[in-house]
Amino acid sequence: MTGVQAARKTIRWGRTHMILCISLVMLGLLFSLYTIRFLEMHTLNHDLAALESEEAHACAVQQELQSRLALKNDPITIELSARKQLGLIKPGEEKVIFVKGE
């Protein structure tokens, strides 16, 4: 082997290593990029599931509150509440008040 052939072989060997190293670095970067994106998507899916659960709970609470509000506006409920809290009576009814004696 002459000096020129040895130099060419060294250059080829150096280029091969450089291309191999660059390829490995690029593969590593791609792998890390996809890994990071996968972890972000996993976290976002977990957050989405938690938010959907909270939304379902909030809708159930809202429905229950709306039904309670509907009862508050019901004339029969208002009448019963007025009779109980304020001691009101209908015309023609007699109210009996018990007084505790000593």
Q: Is residue 99 part of a domain?
A: no
Domain that holds residue 13: 3-86
pLDDT digits (tens, 9 = 90+) for 14-37: 788 889 999 999 999 999 999 999
- Rounded CA gap, 50 and 56, in Å? 10
The upper half-sphere exposure of residue 35, i.e. CA atoms within 13 Å in the direction of its Cβ, equals 6
- Integer-rounded Cα Rg, in Å, for the chain is 41
Number of domains present in the structure of the chain: 1
- Rounded CA gap, 20 and 13, in Å? 11
Q: Is residue 76 part of a domain?
A: yes
Portion of the chain with pLDDT greater than 70, in percent: 86
- Rounded CA gap, 67 and 32, in Å? 52
Q: Is residue 63 part of a domain?
A: yes
DSSP classification of residue 36: H
Q: Is residue 18 part of a domain?
A: yes
Q: Is residue 98 part of a domain?
A: no
Q: Is residue 29 part of a domain?
A: yes
On the question of pLDDT at 7 being above 80, the answer is no
pLDDT digits (tens, 9 = 90+) for 33-61: 999 999 999 999 999 999 999 999 999 99
